[in-house]
Structures are given as C-alpha cells and as structure tokens.
C-alpha cells in the first residue's frame, strides 16, 4: 500500500508524554490546533465517491436519509460502548502502576476513556437515543475468563463494544501492550472520522484523537523500556503475542459491503484492510526498533466481522 509518509503516528514518544503531563498541570495546550500530520494520508486503493463531503452534515436535523441516520447511530454506538467498556477495563490497571507518576498517567488514561464515552453518548442523545436505558440494559464491566483465550471476532453479549474489550487486562505488561496495540488500532480507525461527513462527530474526534495519541505514546514508551531490559524482555514479548493478534482481528474483512456503505455516506474513508495494514506496518516498525518479534497473523476472513468496529 502506498503511503505518503513513513508512519502516520510518527512521533517523539517522550515529547508526547511530557507535553501531556505538562497539560495536566494546567499549562495551555488542550485547544491547540490539530497537527496536520495526523490527518489521513493514505492513498485510497478503491475509490468510492462519497455522497457527502467532510463536515457536510451539520447536525441531527440535517441527516440526509434514514439510511444515513442508522449507519451513523450504529457506528457511534460501537464507539461509545467501546470507550466505556475500555475505561472500565483500564480501571484495575491504575493500581498496578509502578511509580507515583504512573498512577497519574494511568488515571489520566482512565479519565480520558470515560470522557470519550460521555462525549460520544452525548452525540447519540442528540440523535434521540436513550443512553441511560442503554446503560441499564448492558453490563459494560463484563469480562471473560483469561483461559478463554480466543474469542476470534465473537462478541459475548449484546452490547456493541469491540470484542477485544471482553478480555481482562491482568498485569502492567498487558496494560502497556494494550496501549501499544489496541489504542494504536483505535487511533488508526478513528483517523477517518476526522474527515467524517457528520460534523459533530468530526469535531469531537479532534480532542479524542489527541488523547489517544498520548495513550499510544504511553504504550510505546513502556514497551520500549520493558523490551530493552533483558530481565523483562520475555514477559513483554509474551504480552505482545497475546494482544497483537487480538487487535488484528478488530478491523473487519476487506471490501465489505458495510464498509462500502460507510464510505459512500462519507462516514469512513478507507477499506478495512487498508486500516489494518497501516496498523500492522507501524507495529512492525516499532517492534523492530524495540527488539521484539511480531507474531504471524493469518487472516481468517470468514471469521471476521462483516463491518470493522469503530473503537476508542
Ligand atoms: Fe485510548
Ligand atoms: Fe478512547
């Protein structure tokens, strides 16, 4: 796949973290302009002409059709449920933190995910969805036992979270591997939303995306550190082996009909597999630099979901 840049999430890991921590202590930064380098920059393999350009649909009243409304609500429900389940899954990680600074960093990540959930549920409220009823209906704290190691692409309940959020995060290695893999996977998927035809979604995504970049940088910083220390290298490798294939399963199958619909409505820009390949290329590059092996992932398209999940 042709790319204009070496890696979308090309970043100075330490600077990313230092800047965010600085923000947390009250230094201006939350209203910074979005760095143009974060914008989608991949060549589209199969062109589908969108019926609505970026930000063209200004709000719920301007929804152009029932089809548009339903597709939008479906994507927003997947994101909101994933953000909430993700926040709840991260809560136990706060007390795994090895330093005072890391208690703060892990808490910030938890707070970010709850904020993302709230913001996206708000968008659903504006679209007439009864969010409180949704919360009553589903148990977002639900997790499977760790020995159920391969859910494939199966959900285990009726909520719409990405199925990776049904797995428990049991150790600090798992937490940072999850930041490294899943927050990165989510970032790659959410990049398309920055140019979504639904303006309110695109607008809130700018803030969400900045925070996801911090989660990814947090993962990168720790994965690098634990991989390069001979005493912790093997455990880090083990955690990566667990979370990488689980993340590769979230993107959906290539050229799915749902994806084509979302692209036609201007709600997505890229094919599911293009997003997966962008993610995989970046993980590979990082792992090479950190001295880790990326396990082979074999696509089983018939097992993958018809639509890619939007995640947080
Ligand atoms: Fe995140
Ligand atoms: Fe998030």
Which CATH entry fits the domain spanning 63-141+163-295: 3.30.70.380, 3.40.50.170, 1.20.1260.10, 3.30.930.10?
A: 1.20.1260.10
Q: DSSP readout, 243-254?
A: HHHHHHTTS--T
CA geometry: angle at 159 spanning 298 and 176, to 5°?
A: 55
Distance 95 CA to ligand 1 centre (A): 18
Distance 112 CA to ligand 2 centre (A): 7
**In the chain, domain spans:** 63-141+163-295
Distance 109 CA to ligand 1 centre (A): 7
Task: Specify whether the CB–CB gap between 50 and 263 falls below 8 A.
Answer: yes
Task: Taking each helix axis as running N to C, give the angle between helix 66-94 and helix 257-264, from 0 to 180 degrees, rounded to the nearest 10.
Answer: 110
Beta bridge partners of 42: 3
**In the prediction, which pLDDT does 295 show?**
87
Q: What is the DSSP letter of 23?
A: H
Distance 252 CA to ligand 1 centre (A): 19
Distance 65 CA to ligand 1 centre (A): 32
**In the prediction, which pLDDT does 247 show?**
93
**Nearest bound ligand to CA 108?**
1
Distance 196 CA to ligand 2 centre (A): 17
Q: For 102-120, b where at least 16 C-beta lie within 10 A, e where not — what string?
A: beebbbbbbebbbebbebb
**In the prediction, which pLDDT does 30 show?**
33
**In the prediction, which pLDDT does 10 show?**
58
Cα–Cα distance measured from residue 208 to residue 268, given in angstroms and rounded to the nearest whole number: 17
Distance 116 CA to ligand 1 centre (A): 9
pTM here?
0.83
Largest Cα–Cα distance in the chain? Answer: 58
Cα–Cα distance measured from residue 40 to residue 188, given in angstroms and rounded to the nearest whole number: 9
Question: What residues of the chain score a pLDDT lower than 70?
Answer: 1-11, 21-46, 146-158, 301-312
């Amino acid at each position: 796949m042709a790319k204009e840049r070496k890696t979308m999430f090309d970043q100075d890991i330490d600077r990313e973290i230092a800047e965010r921590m600085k923000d947390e202590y009250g230094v201006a930064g939350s209203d910074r302009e979005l760095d143009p380098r974060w914008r989608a920059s991949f060549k589209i393999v199969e062109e589908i002409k969108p019926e609505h350009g970026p930000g063209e649909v200004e709000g719920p009243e301007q929804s152009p059709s029932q089809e548009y409304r339903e597709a939008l609500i479906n994507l927003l429900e997947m994101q909101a449920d994933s953000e909430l389940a993700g926040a709840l899954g991260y809560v136990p990680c706060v007390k795994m933190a090895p330093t005072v600074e890391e208690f703060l960093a892990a808490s910030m990540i938890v707070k970010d995910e709850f904020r993302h959930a709230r913001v996206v549920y708000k968008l659903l409220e504006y679209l007439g969805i009864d969010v409180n009823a949704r919360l009553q209906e589903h148990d977002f704290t639900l997790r499977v036992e760790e020995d159920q190691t391969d859910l494939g692409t199966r959900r285990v309940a009726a909520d719409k979270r990405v199925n990776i959020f049904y797995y428990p995060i049991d150790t600090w290695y798992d937490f940072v591997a999850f930041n490294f893999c899943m927050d990165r996977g989510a970032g790659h998927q959410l990049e398309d939303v920055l140019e979504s035809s639904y303006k309110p979604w695109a607008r809130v995504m700018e803030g969400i995306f900045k925070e996801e970049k911090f989660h990814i940088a947090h993962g990168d910083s720790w994965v690098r550190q634990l991989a390069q220390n001979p005493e912790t290298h093997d455990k880090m490798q083990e955690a990566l082996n667990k979370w990488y294939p689980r993340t590769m399963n979230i993107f959906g199958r290539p050229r799915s009909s749902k994806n084509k619909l979302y692209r036609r409505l201007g709600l997505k820009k890229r094919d599911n597999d293009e997003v997966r390949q962008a993610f995989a290329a970046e993980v590979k590059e990082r792992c090479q630099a950190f001295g880790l092996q990326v396990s082979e992932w074999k696509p089983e398209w018939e097992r993958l979901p018809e639509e890619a999940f939007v995640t947080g």
